[in-house]
Chain A
Amino acid sequence: LAKTTQPISMDSYEGQEVNITCSHNNIATNDYITWYQQFPSQGPRFIIQGYKTKVTNEVASLFIPADRKSSTLSLPRVSLSDTAVYYCLVGVYNQGGKLIFGQGTELSVKP
């Protein structure tokens, strides 16, 4: 299973764009990249998933370079409610197989 490395914490202000980068140097060909958000005392919540290039949904964008050894989660115009821990996971998401969580990035959004 590919190991992921993320910054432990990040600070931002309301209205700013936040980019969180995750390294996954030994990602396998069949692996997808999935990001989750977790608030205290809650289960993780799916944010976005991608395999290559760029994926965008209503809450975030995911940028994946051609070598797929890293990925960047982009949160546009964050608000206080985006304060949470963000996890980058790499694995065969839509098939059998377990997902291993890394350290995650604790994002703190200030007014």
Chain B
Amino acid sequence: GAVVSQHPSRVICKSGTSVKIECRSLDFQATTMFWYRQFPKKSLMLMATSNEGSKATYEQGVEKDKFLINHASLTLSTLTVTSAHPEDSSFYICSARDSGETGELFFGEGSRLTVL
């Protein structure tokens, strides 16, 4: 089946640094990808919709200058957490929609960010 890969799966960084998380669709093309964040014992919260070749669409309350999203190709979207702080520590999950006939949505395995 279709696979969405996230890298890194875990990252620890110091406060003030920037961290990039990659989301790749391995065997299909994805015009649209979505980024979620999830706090412990909470549901997934949609952060933004990433569109290939255009600017991301952010959900209300999500700082676009804080969470930079780039979708430069049909198989890769990146989320950069800029000047990370401890409150940015979370589980970040991406999903990718197959651009083909099915239009199915597949989720990555998530990336755990810990900011010290």
Contact surface of A with B, Cβ cutoff 8 Å: 36, 41-46, 87, 93-96, 98-104
Q: Say whether B43 contacts A101, CB under 8 Å.
A: yes
Q: Say whether B109 contacts A100, CB under 8 Å.
A: no
Candidate in A42, A44, A102 with the most chain B CB atoms within 10 angstroms = A44
Within 8 A of A (CB), among B63-104: 91, 93, 95, 97, 102-104
CA distance A96 to B52 in the complex (A): 13
Question: How many Cβ-Cβ contacts under 8 Å join chain A to chain B?
Answer: 49
Within 8 A of A (CB), among B13-72: 32, 34, 36, 43-46, 49
How many chain B residues touch A (CB < 8 A): the figure is 24
SS class, residues of chain B in contact with chain A: strand
Q: Say whether B105 contacts A93, CB under 8 Å.
A: yes
Min CB distance, A89 to chain B, in Å?
Answer: 10
Q: Say whether A43 contacts B103, CB under 8 Å.
A: no
Known A46-B106, A98-B34; 20 more pairs at CB < 8 Å: A43-B4, A43-B95, A43-B107, A43-B108, A44-B44, A44-B93, A44-B107, A87-B44, A94-B104, A95-B103, A96-B32, A96-B97, A98-B46, A99-B95, A101-B36, A101-B44, A101-B45, A101-B46, A103-B43, A104-B43
